């Protein structure tokens, strides 16, 4: 097999209905930094995705800590739709963010139209006591998990 | 204004998959990720988080070279769970983009592990990105993975 290496993760990306609204939401609610806002020509996008007549508006945001999120607004084609995935549906996606105060984050998210899906879970397992998590959904159907670690921090950092 | 809380980092990206073992083997053996932990999610936790009942699940966490974590979740319930059939233009469609050092080598072998090229390969001809190449792939679950090979200038966002 011809060898190649994955060297890093570049971004996590979502298609959104309106890139200005989505950028404002994630900048103002979660403190994402706006790194670049660009236009994607329809011909380049057709080569990449096979979708015709679809110029793009693209924003690249940096999550605190460094990971990049890309938000893409398709200006075409006419027959594009909105997905309504449930977490149990194959292909459903989410991104998990570490926060220092999950209750305050849930309140702030709601003010920006990003709503709690159900409840806030708390763990009682040894080593994970007090870790809290919840799922949120934004107006585009993007699912965000919030996690507040206990004093031990992120256990994956030690694995 | 972020009020009285802060986002401190990205913990992981996640995808729901139909066959956790198959997905983990592609990400480990083809994409060179490290399988960090495999676990089970109880129906109680899933219900609290998502509101979905009767949904035990299997979890696998992989670390991509460079450090980002991806969580893969295989739901074992409920019986009416479905499959997201998305095009990139559909609101809510997601993908993850990974950097590779040899896109042609990835293209030559992706089909062997069930990754299908969406359409073609883009080569950018605008400075300073001239020569950077990108392609979209779809896995058997419909997950979209973009592979990007930077030109000699590397990742432009690193210095932004």
- What does DSSP say about strands B94-100 and A6-16: parallel, antiparallel, or unpaired? antiparallel
Nearest-CA distance A83 → chain B (Å) = 6
**Total tally of structural domains belonging to chain B:** 2
Residue at a domain's end among A21, A40, A74: A74
**Which tens digit of pLDDT belongs to each residue from A33-46?**
999 999 999 999 99
Q: Are B139 and B98 in a shared domain?
A: yes
The domain total for chain A is 2
> Which CATH number is B51's domain given?
3.10.180.10
- Comparing A74-78, B19-23, B124-128, which segment has the lowest mean pLDDT? B124-128
Q: Which of B10, B105, B118 sits opposite A3 (nearest CB)?
A: B105
Rounded CA Rg of chain A: 18
**Residue A159 burial (10 A CB sphere; 0-12, 13-18, 19+):** exposed
pLDDT of residue A7 exceeding 70, the answer is yes
- pTM (2 d.p.): 0.95
The verdict on residue A7 lying in a domain is no
B39 DSSP β-pair partners: B59
Q: Which of B85, B89, B99 sits opposite A8 (nearest CB)?
A: B99
Calculate helix-pair angle for A102-111, A19-30, nearest 10 degrees: 150
Range of the domain at B150: 94-160
- CB contacts of B51 in chain A (<8 Å) are 117-119
Shared domain check, B63 and B105:
no
Give B19-60 pLDDT, tens digit per residue. Answer: 999 999 999 999 999 999 999 999 999 999 999 999 999 999
For residue B33, which residues of chain A lie inside 8 Å, CB to CB? 6
The average pLDDT across B136-144 equals 97
Asked if A64 and A105 sit in the same domain, the reply is no
The domain in which residue A109 lies consists of 94-158
Of A8, A67, A140, the CB nearest to B10: A67
Q: Does the structure show a pLDDT above 70 at A53? A: yes
Model pLDDT, residue B1: 44
Residue B84 belongs to some domain of the structure: no
A109 and A138 housed in the same domain: yes
Does B98 share its domain with B159? yes
Q: Which of B3, B48, B85 sits opposite A104 (nearest CB)?
A: B3
ipTM: 0.94
Of B79, B88, B136, which to mutate for an interface test with A (greatest number of A Cβ within 10 Å)? B88
Residue of B nearest to A103 (CA): B5
Q: How far is A9 from chain B (nearest CA, A)?
A: 5
Domain harbouring A50, CATH code:
3.10.180.10
**Please, what is the average pLDDT of chain B?**
94
3-state secondary structure of A26: helix
Residue B85 falls within a domain, yes or no? Answer: no
* Contact flag B36-A80 (C-beta cutoff 8 Å): no
User: Per-residue confidence at B159, pLDDT binned at 50, 70, 90?
Assistant: low
Domain membership flag for residue A5: no
B71 and B102 housed in the same domain: no
Burial class (CB in 10 A: 0-12, 13-18, 19+), A151: exposed
pLDDT in tens, A86-97: 999 999 999 999
Percent of chain A topping pLDDT 90? 91
Q: Please check whether residue B42 touches A, CB under 8 A.
A: no
Beta bridge partners of B136: B146
Query: Residue B78 in contact with residue A88, Cβ under 8 Å?
Result: yes
Q: Do A10 and B160 touch (CB under 8 A)?
A: no
Give the pLDDT of residue A1.
Answer: 56
Q: Is residue B56 in a domain?
A: yes
Q: Do B134 and A94 touch (CB under 8 A)?
A: no
pLDDT of residue A159: 86
Residue B99 lies in a domain: yes
Instruction: Give the best residue of B8, B62, B82 to mutate against chain A (max A CB count within 10 A).
Output: B8
Residues B159 and B100 in one domain: yes
Q: What is the mean pLDDT of residues A56-63?
A: 98
Q: B101 with B141, same domain?
A: yes
In a domain, A134, yes or no: yes
**The predicted structure's pLDDT at residue A75:** 97
Point out the residue among A7, A77, A121 whose CB comes nearest to the CB of B101: A7
Whether residues B10 and A121 touch (CB distance < 8 A) is answered with: no
């Amino acid at each position: 097999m011809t060898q190649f290496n994955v060297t890093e993760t570049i971004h996590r990306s979502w298609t959104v209905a309106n890139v200005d609204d989505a950028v404002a939401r994630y900048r103002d609610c979660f403190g994402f930094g706006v790194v670049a806002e660009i236009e994607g020509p329809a011909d380049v996008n057709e080569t990449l995705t096979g979708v015709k007549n679809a110029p793009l508006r693209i924003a690249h945001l940096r999550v605190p800590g460094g990971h990049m999120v890309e938000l893409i607004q398709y200006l075409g084609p006419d027959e594009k739709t909105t997905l309504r995935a449930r977490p149990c549906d194959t292909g459903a996606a989410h991104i998990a963010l570490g926060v220092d105060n999950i209750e305050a984050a849930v309140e702030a998210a709601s003010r920006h139209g990003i709503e709690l899906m159900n409840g806030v879970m708390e763990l009682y397992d040894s080593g994970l006591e007090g870790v809290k998590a919840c799922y949120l959904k934004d107006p585009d159907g993007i699912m965000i998990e919030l996690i507040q670690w206990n004093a031990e921090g992120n256990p994956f950092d030690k694995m | 204004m972020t009020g009285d809380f802060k986002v401190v980092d990205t913990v992981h990206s996640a995808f729901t998959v139909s066959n956790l073992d198959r997905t983990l083997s592609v990400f480990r053996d083809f994409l060179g990720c490290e399988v960090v932990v495999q676990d089970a999610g109880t129906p109680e936790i899933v219900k609290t988080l998502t509101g979905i009942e009767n949904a035990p699940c299997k979890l696998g966490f992989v670390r991509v070279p460079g450090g980002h974590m991806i969580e893969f979740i295989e739901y074992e319930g409920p019986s009416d769970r479905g499959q997201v059939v998305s095009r990139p233009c559909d609101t809510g469609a997601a993908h993850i983009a990974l950097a590779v050092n040899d896109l042609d080598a990835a293209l030559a072998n992706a089909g062997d592990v069930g990754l299908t090229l969406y359409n073609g390969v883009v080569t950018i001809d605008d400075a300073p990105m001239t020569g950077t190449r990108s392609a979209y792939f779809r896995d058997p679950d419909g997950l979209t993975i973009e592979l990007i090979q930077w030109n000699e200038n590397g990742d432009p966002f690193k210095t932004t």
